Amino acid sequence: MEFLILGLLMLSPMTGYELQQFIKQNLALICSHSAGSVQTALAKLEREGRITAAESSEGRRRKRIFSITEAGRAAFSDWVAQPMQADRVKNMELARLFFLGLADPAQRAAAIRDYVRQMEEAEATLRAIRARFDAIRQGEVPGGRDWDSIFRFQGYTIDYGIAAARFERDWYARLLCELEEKE
């Protein structure tokens, strides 16, 4: 969560609420978007000197706008430059599938059917994110950044998510058909 927040703050200063909403709307399939998770990460980053907060008032409302520090930029740059690790991706649902033979046959089919539904919802969510992303990409963006590169890799991430959700949906749907034919 900390590096995700640092990355978002590399793009623009944000309030805790803005960070939580961005994560909820665009990254909820990657990580938790709970206020507690975001606030805990912000407090840790601030203690470590990786971000700072400036107080601002809008009428009676006070808000804290978080910005990344040079130490935060360095930590983020070190993290993002590390090689990606294939063994870091875990799918705990495979453990459930591994033991599904111990469940009642009706429970097996119901569990798989529900997982197929969840993958359909995940793909739909990612397609909606993709549409918002494409609209933002076509609009005006502030100068001073290589937005083409930033948008390109964000797009790759969304495309990967769509393809992964589609693959899992199709794979589990085939498994469900096979189970229903045998039982």
DSSP character string of 49-112? TSEEEEEEEETTEEEEEEEE-HHHHHHHHHHHHSPP-GGG---THHHHHHTGGGS-HHHHHHHH
Residues 2 and 48 in one domain: yes
Angle at the Cα of 79 from the Cα atoms of 63 and 34, rounded to 5 degrees = 40
Token readout for 89 is 């991706």
Residues 108 and 70 in one domain: no
CATH of the domain at 174: 1.20.58
pTM tops 0.85: no
Stretch (H or E) spanning 15: strand 14-15
Token readout for 156 is 């790759």
Dihedral sign, Cα of residue 94, residue 167, residue 118, residue 16? positive
Residues 96 and 36 in one domain: no
Residues 70 and 13 in one domain: yes
pLDDT at res. 52: 94
Residues 54 and 102 in one domain: no
Domain count along the chain: 2
pLDDT, averaged in runs of 10, over the chain (183 residues): 88 88 77 74 95 87 91 90 73 81 86 92 88 83 80 89 92 92 75
Residue ending a domain, among 54, 82, 110, is 82
Task: Give Cβ neighbours of residue 108 (< 8 Å, ≥ 6 apart).
Answer: 100, 101, 179
pLDDT at res. 32: 60
Residues 76 and 97 in one domain: no
Rg (CA), the chain: 20
Residues 56 and 134 in one domain: no
**Residue 111 domain boundaries:** 91-183
Residues 76 and 109 in one domain: no
HSE value, Cβ hemisphere, 13 Å, CA-based, for 31: 16
Residues 71 and 109 in one domain: no
Contact predicate 53/64, CB 8 Å: yes
pLDDT at res. 174: 95
Look at the block and give the residue holding tokens 């590169």: 149
Rounded Cα gap, residues 168 and 161, in angstroms? 11
